[in-house]
Amino acid sequence: MYEYGQHDMVAHMKTTIEIADALLREAKRIAAKEQTTVRALLEEGLRRALKEHRKKPRFHLRDASHGQGGLQADVREGSWEQLRDLIDEVRGT
């Protein structure tokens, strides 16, 4: 329970996860050997995975614009149909 003024408390949420039997057995074995809990191992692993995920560079779409100023004046106020017709003209279709 969080009380006002206690900034060092950590909120916990109880949840259920499905995990492979062999993986859980190994986690229990390691937790016992290291005198910790499976929960602590899971939290540590999740923190590491999230940290790695945050390190990945975000995708940025390169600017593939041609020229300056956006659309040409004769099509700037045109409809989608006019744009499609112009594209078809350029393609020769």
The residues spanned by each domain of the chain are 21-55
How far apart CA 70 and CA 50 sit, in angstroms, is 40
Assign 1 a pLDDT band (cuts: 50, 70, 90): very low
pLDDT by residue (tens digit) across 16-25? 999 999 999 9
- Residue 83 · residue 75 · CB < 8 Å: yes
3-class DSSP assignment, residue 25: helix
Model pTM score: 0.50
- Residue 18 · residue 11 · CB < 8 Å: no
